[in-house]
Structure 1
Amino acid sequence: MDQSTFLLKSLEEMPQAWRGAVVAIGNFDGMHEGHQAVLAAAEAEAQHLSVPTIILTFEPHPRSFFAPQTPLFRLTPAVLKASVAAAHGISGMLVARFDAAFAETEAEDFVRSVLVERLAARHVVTGYDFHFGHRRKGTPEFLKRQGVLNSFGVTVVEKHGDEAGAISSSRIREALGEGRVEEARELLGWDWSLVGRVVEGDRRGRDLGFPTANMVLDPACALAHGIYAVRYTRPDGSVHDGVASFGRRPTFDDGAPRLETFIFDFDGDLYGEMGLVSLIGWIRGEEKFGSVDALVERMNVDAEEARKILAARPLHDLDRKIAAAWPEAERQAEEAGLA
């Protein structure tokens, strides 16, 4: 599937051409190696049946709906899920809005109204731990029985893991919370990325010789505060090397966390643009310096270290495809009110 044909739609706006598709269902927060095993199984079945492959996912994340008082560090909001799906050649992604009415839907009603009547699914693929419907009564075994009763096939993908156990979004959150971006990449299969709009800062970086693209992230983002080697993708699809700081700027104001990215060898106006920042390597934790001169000296060292990390890590094929898919996924997410 050509990435340019990928579509991101709400469940209510589903294209008629997707009726009879193979449907991969899940929350897919992280789109990690385990989730990609689900996508691969769905793609294999779709090729056998000569039908499209689509993802059905949920926004907001059900955990955020049921426990709004407990912040959830989202790994892949809709636009990133769509970007990774497009990079894998999936035809499109449907988003079901998870609200009070949806939460009350019985598992049998979900199968009948969504999978059978709306989607006319030929085959459904889920992970081993996926549950759905009111009180999570829709187990993988339940789904298999419903497939027999309603004439659609079902594949349940077994646990995908390594020597430390099952690959999970929780493990990835823990790794990122401690700055272990290389470990997160091993679990994800791609460089974890953040999406944000470039906002006006205090222009302090420009005065220091390091003009930055500043983004205010979701307050629930639990990424470790520190300095990272990064790649920055603009809406035109161009990818640039850089170094980024995520934190509170303790040398100056110790304010609200902000992502500040210095793009190497770039001179342009990014204000108001959306950007994709991919974390490639960890350099150090956030520090408070005794003087501005000491900070600038260390920033120069950080920039050189970032250049070395990036030179040793050329873009992998999947990361290249995600960067290429992101601008269109972002446009469609905004259009659908999901960005």
Structure 2
Amino acid sequence: MQLVRGIHNLQPSHRGCVATIGNFDGVHRGHQAILARLRERAQEFGVPGCVVIFEPQPREFFTPGHAPARLTRLREKLTLLDEQGVDRVLCLAFNRRLRELGAADFVHTVLVEGLGVRQLEVGDDFRFGCDRSGDFDFLVKAGVAEGFTVEAASTIEVDGARVSSSRVRQALADGDLALAEALLGRPYSIAGRVVYGQQLGRKLNAPTANIQLKRRRTALSGVFLVTAMVAGRRWPAIANIGMRPSVQSEGLPHLEVHLLDYQGDLYGCRLEVVFLRKLRDEQRFPSLEALRNAIDMDIASARAYWRANPL
């Protein structure tokens, strides 16, 4: 999959494609349906399938302190898009200049002059441009004038309700990992690099891999049964994700993973942590001894689970 960062990096060779536009946060089953149609139409036209995304996501630009938690950071999103058979991703920096670009100018500058779009695949609720003035009907009319066609993706439902990134976030916030998996089409996971932390876990006889999150908020919090991929092997583990109320924190969320019976140095390694079941909410403990007892109980619960459900 080819990644193009910014309109200024588009080349004449990038013209001619079937495209779709959106945040694609989580690349859930609704997104996957759009991407499947993108692949089909790209094959019919004999051109690449291109996904146009934004960094940061628009709501992160407008209200950074109140934007919803990311389901996937850019690197994770690109990996998922690649797995869906996307040929090319155009990643646009969402800044003041792009925010002020009107719908008609966006179509002409990005879709027509930049990408030479033959057909556009979008959700029927898609809106874009300055003040979200562009919608599906606008695109259809613009396509007639500019020489491309527009197709609306069918709504995908699970349990009688539309699949959406916000619904995935709510399922994760509720600790309903089974529903999140049904909406995503896979278990929810977070990937990141192991960095040095406070090494408190060693003092509690439960050393942890501290995963760099690079996000202000997380879609879920608490203590979970997880697996962690290490050197090609899926390892049973437990994880705490959240604000760590019992220890001194800088106000940013942390992901700490304890791999059961693992011996080795993980610093600098990139781990994918797959969330399987919630054990409990985060809570503040009055002492390190109380925290140690709770961690011991969490590990005991994890061992019992993995004995009954071996990998």
- Output the TM-score relative to the length of structure 2: 0.88
Cα drift, residue 182 of structure 1? 1.6
Deviates more, 1:290-299 or 1:60-69: 290-299
Alpha-carbon distance in structure 2 between the residues aligned to 1:18 and 1:242: 44
Specify the SS of the correspondent of 1:73.
coil
Q: Given that residues 222 and 282 in structure 2 are in contact (C-alpha distance below 8 angstroms), is that contact kept between their aligned partners in structure 1?
A: yes
Q: Does 1:182 align with 2:181?
A: no
Alpha-carbon distance in structure 2 between the residues aligned to 1:285 and 1:303: 15
Aligned with 1:101 (options 97, 104, 108):
97
Distance 1:310 1:61, change over 3 A: farther
Q: Given that residues 231 and 239 in structure 1 are in contact (C-alpha distance below 8 angstroms), is that contact kept between their aligned partners in structure 2?
A: yes
Alpha-carbon distance in structure 2 between the residues aligned to 1:119 and 1:310: 49
Cα drift, residue 307 of structure 1? 2.3
Specify the SS of the correspondent of 1:291.
helix
Aligned with 2:34 (options 34, 38, 61):
38
Who is 1:217 aligned against?
A: 213
Alpha-carbon distance in structure 2 between the residues aligned to 1:72 and 1:65: 12
Identity value in percent: 35
Deviations 1:236-295 (A, max 9, x none): 665433221123445x52645421112245322222333322212222323548636623
Q: Does 1:304 align with 2:300?
A: no
Distance 1:310 1:155, change over 3 A: farther
Cα drift, residue 195 of structure 1? 3.0
Distance 1:266 1:182, change over 3 A: same
| Structure 2 counterpart of 1:8, one-letter code | L
Q: Aligned Cα RMSD in Å?
A: 2.5
Distance 1:89 1:158, change over 3 A: same
Divergent runs of 4+, >4 A: 236-239
| Structure 1 counterpart of 2:170, one-letter code | E
Who is 1:325 aligned against?
A: none
Who is 1:253 aligned against?
A: 247
Alpha-carbon distance in structure 1 between the residues aligned to 2:268 and 2:187: 24
Alignment of structure 1 residues 111-260 onto 2, 5 Å = 111-218=107-214, 220-233=216-229, 239-250=234-245, 252-253=246-247, 255=249, 256=251, 257-260=253-256
Who is 1:334 aligned against?
A: none
Deviations 1:98-135 (A, max 9, x none): 10010111111111111111111121111111111111
Cα drift, residue 218 of structure 1? 4.7
Q: Does 1:270 align with 2:266?
A: yes
Specify the SS of the correspondent of 2:117.
coil
Aligned with 2:65 (options 61, 65, 69):
69
What are the ranges of 5 or more consecutive residues in structure 2 without an aligned counterpart?
Answer: none
Specify the SS of the correspondent of 2:116.
coil
Alignment of structure 1 residues 287-302 onto 2, 5 Å = 287=283, 288=285, 291=290, 294-302=293-301
Specify the SS of the correspondent of 1:278.
strand
Aligned with 2:21 (options 22, 25, 28):
25
Who is 1:331 aligned against?
A: none
Specify the SS of the correspondent of 1:70.
coil
Specify the SS of the correspondent of 1:198.
strand
| Structure 1 counterpart of 2:241, one-letter code | F
Distance 1:226 1:14, change over 3 A: same
Cα drift, residue 20 of structure 1? 0.8
- Output the TM-score relative to the length of structure 1: 0.81
| Higher percent of residues as strand | 2
Q: Does 1:9 align with 2:9?
A: no
Structure of greater relative contact order (alpha carbons < 8 Å, 6+ residues apart): 1
Q: Given that residues 127 and 156 in structure 1 are in contact (C-alpha distance below 8 angstroms), is that contact kept between their aligned partners in structure 2?
A: yes
Cα drift, residue 162 of structure 1? 2.9
